[in-house]
């Protein structure tokens, strides 16, 4: 009898523990948007909106649902390509002025799209809307700037790599550059939040780049830092392994996340020019 009672206590404890854990996962699901998107860190409108030396033109793009999306159009003389840029999670486009200046110097035009709910863009952040907004930005380049998609480079950093990859999987763009990519949100959760099993499965936002990679026909350049404090390099390697040829992997032997162009501009510039040089113009 004592053994039976002990087993019953263990059983009831396991049931209560399972229910409690399920409630934790449910709460995480409910508050997911606040745990994934960080438009207000360090401040939604913080940053330099008139960066020196960068010929920024403010443009507004109408999204599929009427939301007004803010973007920077940054032209470059003798540009053969145009980067359609999707930044990382926190902050806004003004925080990445150095990135756009670097890309422009290749030389190339840059259209830096601001996510809905971030910076000066209207709306509320959401994975599916991010994908649709990227389509709207590509349409803007085609209709307003008369740029053929085959001359567009879909460029993403961190969270933006999922948006850039999705756009390239649905359109015949000229090339894809993914800086600090990850295979999926579930893959990140499994590696970083290993102590919360099932977290990735209940997430409403999946950002499943890995499943999109086989659909991309354009050349892919994957960039990662050897010591990335946000996205483990192993995840970048997983993205590279899943991508179709032609593909190139470049690893910077330093600690950084989205700052490769700031910390190693000469090497990154050489890699980027070689990548663009192999593309059909």
Residue 111's nearest CA partner among 144, 69, 68, 75 is 75
pLDDT of residue 188: 66
Parallel, antiparallel or unpaired: strands 175-179 and 220-227: parallel
CB-based contact 217:187 (threshold 8 Å): no
Give, in order, the Cα–Cα distances in Å from 134 to each of 13, 31, 109, 120. 48, 25, 17, 16
Q: Is the pLDDT of residue 176 over 50?
A: yes
pTM: 0.86
pLDDT of residue 157: 98
CA pair distance 151, 82, nearest whole angstrom: 6
Give, in order, the Cα–Cα distances in Å from 209 to each of 55, 95, 125, 145, 263. 32, 24, 18, 28, 26
Instruction: Tell me the pLDDT tens digit for each residue of 60-100.
Output: 999 999 999 999 999 999 999 999 999 999 899 999 999 99
pLDDT of residue 8: 55
pLDDT of residue 102: 97
Confidence of residue 38 (pLDDT cuts 50, 70, 90): confident
Using CB atoms within 10 A of its CB, is residue 257 exposed (0-12), middle (13-18) or buried (19+)?
A: middle
pLDDT of residue 140: 98
Instruction: Tell me the pLDDT tens digit for each residue of 8-36.
Output: 566 555 555 445 444 444 444 444 444 57
Q: Residue 60 corresponds to which tokens in the numbers above?
A: 């507004």
CB-based contact 242:208 (threshold 8 Å): no
Give, in order, the Cα–Cα distances in Å from 11 to each of 5, 7, 210. 10, 6, 39
What is the side-by-side order of every strand in the sheet holding 220-227? 57-62, 68-74, 109-113, 82-86, 152-157, 175-179, 220-227, 247-255
pLDDT of residue 41: 79
Q: Is the pLDDT of residue 189 over 80?
A: no
Architecture of the domain whose range is 31-277:
3-Layer(aba) Sandwich (3.40)
**CA gyration radius for the chain?**
21
Residues 259-276: what's their mean pLDDT? 95
CA pair distance 257, 255, nearest whole angstrom: 7
Catalogue the long-range contacts made by 20-24 (C-beta closer than 8 Å, 24 or more residues apart). Answer: 24/196
CA pair distance 86, 161, nearest whole angstrom: 7
Q: Is the pLDDT of residue 195 over 60?
A: no
pLDDT of residue 186: 76
* Average model confidence (pLDDT) across the chain: 86
Which 3 state secondary structure label does DSSP give 279? coil
Instruction: Tell me the pLDDT tens digit for each residue of 246-265.
Output: 999 999 999 999 999 999 99
Domain boundaries, the chain: 31-277
CA pair distance 88, 162, nearest whole angstrom: 10
Judged by average pLDDT, the poorest of 1-10, 181-190, 195-204, 231-240 is 195-204
Q: Give me the phi and psi of 262, to 5 degrees please.
A: -85, -40
Q: Which is higher by pLDDT, 114 or 34?
A: 114
pLDDT of residue 27: 40
pLDDT of residue 279: 76
């Amino acid at each position: 009898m004592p053994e039976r009672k002990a087993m019953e206590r263990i059983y009831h404890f396991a049931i209560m523990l399972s229910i409690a854990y399920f409630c934790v996962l449910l709460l995480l699901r409910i508050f997911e948007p606040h745990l994934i998107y960080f438009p207000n860190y360090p401040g939604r409108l913080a940053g330099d909106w008139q960066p020196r030396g960068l010929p920024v033109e403010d443009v507004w793009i109408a999204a599929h649902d009427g939301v007004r999306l803010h973007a920077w159009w940054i032209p470059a003389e003798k540009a053969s390509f145009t980067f359609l840029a999707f930044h990382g999670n926190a902050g806004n486009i003004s925080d990445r002025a150095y990135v756009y200046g670097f890309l422009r110097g290749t030389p190339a035009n840059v259209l830096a799209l601001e996510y809905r709910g971030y910076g000066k863009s209207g709306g509320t952040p959401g994975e599916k809307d991010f994908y649709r907004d990227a389509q709207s930005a590509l349409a803007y380049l085609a209709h307003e700037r008369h740029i053929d998609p085959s001359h567009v480079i879909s460029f993403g950093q961190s969270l933006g790599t999922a948006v850039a990859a999705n756009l390239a999987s649905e359109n015949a763009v000229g090339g894809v550059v993914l800086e600090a990519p990850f295979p999926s949100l579930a893959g990140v959760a499994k590696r970083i939040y290993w102590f919360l099993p099932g977290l990735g499965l209940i997430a409403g936002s999946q950002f499943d780049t890995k499943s999109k990679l086989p659909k991309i026909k354009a050349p892919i350049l994957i960039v990662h830092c050897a010591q990335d404090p946000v996205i483990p390099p192993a995840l970048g390697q997983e993205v590279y392994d899943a991508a179709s040829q032609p593909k190139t992997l470049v690893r910077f032997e330093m600690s950084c996340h989205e700052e490769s162009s700031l910390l190693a501009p000469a090497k990154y510039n050489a890699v980027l020019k070689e990548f663009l040089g192999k593309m059909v113009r």
